[in-house]
């Protein structure tokens, strides 16, 4: 059964880099059928799309975060990762990784999410 | 400020039909399919409707989606207490090299 699991520090200091990894089991990040993405949700607020990556390394990012975000894929470990630089308190959120079937079919599989708090 | 506009809340009594709207623009809903997600308290979002009106396996047919122009709607018929959740619409936006946009979410309360 396909599962996605986020991992990484739950606490990051302001101005530093947030780094998260999503481990995929039951499927391959090398599949040509899917994109792999990151979405976040600040406490008590709505969903915000961060970006996606294809197994070839092709990426798309949220324009509002693009200058600070890098998403990469490691096919040997069947993982993909998120780096968000120069974080502030506004980056405090639950971060989800998810599988995107297509722009029509949306995100069909989600990780459970991991809470990241940015401290000053 | 979300790119897609949803009412912040909706409510209904058990058995009723509730509709949640989602308004966008020509670069997102007007050009691309709409997806809907259900988020129960404390859990990850779940894909409820894809490609405007398609239900993933396991989603009851009480849930239906539609799209017209730059707006979309999610209808829930035969409302049940377990439907109490947050509902988000989403679409790909073709502007600025392309990116996903979400609605701000509608909290559905079953009275």
Q: What is the pLDDT of residue A102?
A: 86
Q: What is the pLDDT of residue A12?
A: 98
Dihedral over alpha carbons A16, A22, A28, A29 (to 10 degrees): -30
For residue B52, how many other CB atoms are within 10 A of its CB? 18
- Residue indicated by tokens 């499927």: A27
Work out the average pLDDT over B46-61. Answer: 97
A103: region left, alpha or beta (phi > 0 left; psi from -120 to 50 alpha): alpha
Is B37's pLDDT higher than 90?
Answer: yes
CB-based contact, A97 to chain B, within 8 Å? no
Q: What is the pLDDT of residue A104?
A: 87
CB contact under 8 A, A107 and B35: yes
pLDDT tens string, chain A, 120 residues long: the values are: 899 999 999 999 999 999 999 999 999 999 989 999 999 999 999 999 999 999 899 999 999 999 999 999 999 999 999 999 999 999 999 999 999 988 889 999 999 999 999 998
How far apart are alpha carbons A38 and A21 in whole angstroms? 10
Q: What is the pLDDT of residue A29?
A: 93
| A38 closest CA partner among A62, A57, A55 | A62
Question: The tokens of B86 are what?
Answer: 């947050």
CB-based contact, A1 to chain B, within 8 Å? no
3-state SS, one letter per residue, for B6-58: CCCEEEECCCCCEEEEEECCCCCCCCCCEEEEEECCCCCCEEEEECCCECCCC
Mutate: best of A37, A40, A106, A110, partner B, most B CBs <10 A: A106
B74: region left, alpha or beta (phi > 0 left; psi from -120 to 50 alpha): beta
- Residue indicated by tokens 């989403």: B90
Which of chain A's residues have a Cβ under 8 Å away from the Cβ of B46?
A: 110
CB-based contact, A42 to chain B, within 8 Å? no
**For B67-89, what is each residue's pLDDT tens digit?**
999 999 999 999 999 999 999 99
Q: Which one has a higher pLDDT value, B96 or A96?
A: A96
Which of chain A's residues have a Cβ under 8 Å away from the Cβ of B101?
A: 49
Query: What residues are paired with B81 via a beta bridge?
Result: none
CB contact under 8 A, B88 and A62: no
Considering only alpha carbons, which residue of chain A is nearest residue B95? A63
CB contact under 8 A, A47 and B33: no
For residue B98, how many other CB atoms are within 10 A of its CB? 15
DSSP A1: -
Question: Sorting pLDDT into bands at 50, 70 and 90, what band is B104?
Answer: very high
């Amino acid at each position: 059964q396909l599962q996605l699991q986020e991992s990484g520090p739950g606490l990051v200091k302001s101005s530093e880099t947030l780094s998260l990894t999503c481990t995929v089991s039951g499927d391959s990040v090398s599949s040509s059928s899917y994109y792999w993405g990151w979405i976040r949700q600040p406490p008590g607020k709505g969903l915000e799309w961060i970006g996606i990556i294809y197994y070839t390394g092709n990426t798309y990012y949220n324009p509002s975060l693009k200058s600070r975000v890098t998403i990469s894929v490691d096919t040997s470990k069947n993982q993909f990762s998120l780096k968000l630089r120069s974080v502030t308190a506004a980056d405090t959120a639950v971060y989800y990784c998810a599988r995107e079937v297509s722009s029509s079919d949306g995100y069909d599989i989600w990780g459970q999410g991991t809470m990241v708090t940015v401290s000053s | 400020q979300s790119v897609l506009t949803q009412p912040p809340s909706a409510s209904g009594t058990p058995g009723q039909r509730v509709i949640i709207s989602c308004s966008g623009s020509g670069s997102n809903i007007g050009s691309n399919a709409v997806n809907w997600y259900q988020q129960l308290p404390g859990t990850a979002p779940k894909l409820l409707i894809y490609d405007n009106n398609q239900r993933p396996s396991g989603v009851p047919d009480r849930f239906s989606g539609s799209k017209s122009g730059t707006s979309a709607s999610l209808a829930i018929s035969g409302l049940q207490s377990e439907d109490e959740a947050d509902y988000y619409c989403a679409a790909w936006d073709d502007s600025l090299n392309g990116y996903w946009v979400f609605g701000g979410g509608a909290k559905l309360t079953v009275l």
